[in-house]
C-alpha cells in the first residue's frame, strides 16, 4: 500500500510538471536549460499550486483534477498502510 501511495504522489508531481512545462512554453517560447531548471525547481517546491494557473486562465482543468485526485489517493493509501501495520 505504501508503494501505491508513492505512485500516486509521483503521478501528481508529473501532472504538475506537465502543467508547468505548458506554462513555460507560453511564457518563453525560446526556452533554454536555465528556464527548464528554474521551472523544475519551482514546480518541485509548489507542485500543488502550479496546475491552478492553466485551469483558471485557459479552462484546462485536467492537470488540476489529476494532481489533486492523485494527492488525495496518495494520502488515503498512505494512511491505509499505516493503520494496517498497527493491527
- Each residue's pLDDT tens digit, 12-24: 999 999 999 999 8
- Model's pTM, two decimal places? 0.85
pLDDT along the chain (87 residues), means of 10: 94 94 89 88 89 93 96 95 76
* Contact of 2 with 80, CB cutoff 8 Å: no
pLDDT of residue 84: 84
Domain of residue 43: give its range. 2-86
pLDDT of residue 1: 85
Cα distances from 20 to residues 2, 14, 43, 80, in angstroms, run: 27, 10, 7, 31
How many distinct structural domains can be found in the chain? 1
pLDDT of residue 85: 66
Closest CA to 25 of 12, 14, 41, 39: 39
- The grid coordinates of residue 63 equal 492537470
pLDDT of residue 87: 54
Amino acid at each position: 500500500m505504501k508503494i501505491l501511495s508513492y505512485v500516486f504522489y509521483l503521478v501528481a508531481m508529473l501532472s504538475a510538471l506537465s502543467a508547468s512545462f505548458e506554462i513555460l512554453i507560453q511564457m518563453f517560447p525560446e526556452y533554454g536549460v536555465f528556464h527548464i531548471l528554474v521551472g523544475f525547481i519551482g514546480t518541485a517546491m509548489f507542485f500543488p499550486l502550479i496546475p491552478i494557473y492553466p485551469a483558471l486562465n485557459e479552462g484546462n482543468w485536467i492537470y488540476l483534477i489529476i494532481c489533486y485526485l492523485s494527492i488525495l489517493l496518495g494520502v488515503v493509501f498512505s494512511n491505509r498502510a499505516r493503520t494496517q501495520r498497527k493491527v
